[in-house]
Chains A and B, each alone.
Chain A
């Protein structure tokens, strides 16, 4: 693989169910991010990780959790999905976690519908 992969591509989920969105990168980037994108709104940061073993809360963290056990993987878990979590979710990574150009590169996204 090259770059960032996300799984699943799309999912329809019943409200109240637990769901984990997967994200893997092979660029050995230090930092990883989860965003949600809703129509008419900018990308909103859910959680981030500047390096393996550390995580932080973004702008809209409620209802979501993350872990960063290693450099490559950064799963996002919805403990009990609600309809307002219907969105397109993008995972991204960057090399240095804030300094320099630190361009973020995005995965293809997961389209999640909660009914």
Chain B
């Protein structure tokens, strides 16, 4: 079966750096997405990786290793507004998105 694994919850301190990991096992691979979802709101797109390596976008970076079935989202200079759930999703060989359950990130002052 297809599977996306992420930690359920993480806690970090304002101003610090946090890394959220995602491992996947899918039938085929056509890209990996990270979304941010604040409580009670819709998911919003953060990043997309299809080739190995690091994609940097401001305070957020996303890394992909296809051979290891592994990605991480790196958040720097954490702000209170970064408290949210972070969803990892993989597009499989049939171009369907398979979603992880999300990682709830709690930021403490």
Residues of A whose CB lies within 8 Å of any CB of B are 40-45, 58, 90, 97-99, 101-109
For chain A, what secondary structure do more than half of its interface residues adopt (helix, strand, loop), or is it mixed?
loop
Q: Which bucket holds chain B's interface residue count?
A: 20 to 34
Say whether A107 contacts B101, CB under 8 Å. no
Q: Which 9 A-B pairs rank lowest in CB-CB distance, beginning with the nearest? A: A42-B99, A98-B95, A106-B42, A43-B99, A42-B101, A103-B45, A106-B43, A42-B100, A108-B42
Say whether A41 contacts B101, CB under 8 Å. yes
Least Cβ–Cβ distance between B73 and chain A, in angstroms: 16
Q: A43-B89, A45-B97, A108-B41 are in contact. List 11 more A-B contacts (CB 8 A).
A: A41-B101, A42-B4, A42-B98, A42-B101, A43-B87, A43-B99, A101-B48, A102-B95, A104-B33, A106-B42, A107-B42
Nearest-neighbor residue (CB-CB) of A3 within chain B: B42
List the B side residues contacting A41 at CB < 8 Å.
101
Tell me the complex Cα distance, A2–B96, Å. Answer: 26
Say whether A105 contacts B101, CB under 8 Å. no
Tell me the complex Cα distance, A98–B41, Å. Answer: 25
List the A side residues contacting B45 at CB < 8 Å.
103-105
Please judge, given known A-B contacts A40-B101, A42-B102, whether A101 and B31 are in contact too, CB under 8 Å: yes
**Residue B27, interface by CB 8 Å:** no
